[in-house]
């Protein structure tokens, strides 16, 4: 199963032939993703299954697994994020056909008859899966620094649980 991944491919032909790909891609090759990263070392584990569904729609079911090094927005230090992305993409020739797609699919629009670059679709899926505001799970700054204006404190000031309110009502009846 561990064949060398092609750099470029024709997704329509892969779907028609029910082909599968498995392998690793270097993060180094992903320039658009790189601007979100603390460093671009590492590899993405990739599984891609191409097929045509019962309605004739060519699709790709992909699983991409990677540990990214991002910048924490709170302390600005590096933080590791494990990502496991499952994608189900319908392969379509132009925007026009996107309208009629079954709901489970995201469109993978192929602009031309040229081959597509494999790493660019993987890169797109990883960028979509990035957190909007990457932050360490733990309190990565000393308390006096972030308690001043950080909205994370809201958690601790929650009102009494709804169950407490319920039992109070029961007593009244
Ligand atoms: Zn942090």
Q: How many domains does the chain have?
A: 1
Distance 65 CA to ligand 1 centre (A): 23
Question: Per-residue pLDDT tens for 138-151?
Answer: 999 876 655 555 55
Distance 73 CA to ligand 1 centre (A): 7
Residue 163 falls inside a structural domain: yes
Domain span at residue 129?
Answer: 8-172
Distance 143 CA to ligand 1 centre (A): 12
Question: Per-residue pLDDT tens for 77-124?
Answer: 999 999 999 999 999 987 666 677 888 999 998 876 779 999 999 999
Q: What secondary structure, in 3-state letters, does the chain show?
A: CCCCCCCEECHHHHHHCCCEEEEEEEHHHCHHHHCCEEECCCEEEEEEEEEECCCCCEEEEEEEEEEEEEECCCCCCEEEEEEEEEEEEEEECCHHHHHHCCCCCEEEECCCCCCEEHHHHHHHHHHHHCCCCCCCCCCCCCHHHHCCCCHHHHHHHCCCCHHHHHHHHHHHC
Residue 13 falls inside a structural domain: yes
Distance 77 CA to ligand 1 centre (A): 6
């Amino acid at each position: 199963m561990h064949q060398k991944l092609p750099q470029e491919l024709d997704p329509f032909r892969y779907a028609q032939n029910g082909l599968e790909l498995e392998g690793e891609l270097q993060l180094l090759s992903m320039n658009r993703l790189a601007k979100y990263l603390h460093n671009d070392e590492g590899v993405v584990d990739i599984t891609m299954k191409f097929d045509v569904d019962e309605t004739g729609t060519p699709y790709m079911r992909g699983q991409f697994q990677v540990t990214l090094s991002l910048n924490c927005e709170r302390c600005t230090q590096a933080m590791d994020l494990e990502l496991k992305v499952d994608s189900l993409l319908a392969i379509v020739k132009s925007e026009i056909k996107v309208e009629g797609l079954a709901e489970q699919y995201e469109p993978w629009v192929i602009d031309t008859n040229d081959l597509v670059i494999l790493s660019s679709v993987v890169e797109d899926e990883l960028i979509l899966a990035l957190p909007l505001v990457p932050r360490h799970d733990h309190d990565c700054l000393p308390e006096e620094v972030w308690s001043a204006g950080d909205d994370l404190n809201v958690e601790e000031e929650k009102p009494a649980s709804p169950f407490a309110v319920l039992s109070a009502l029961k007593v009244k009846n």
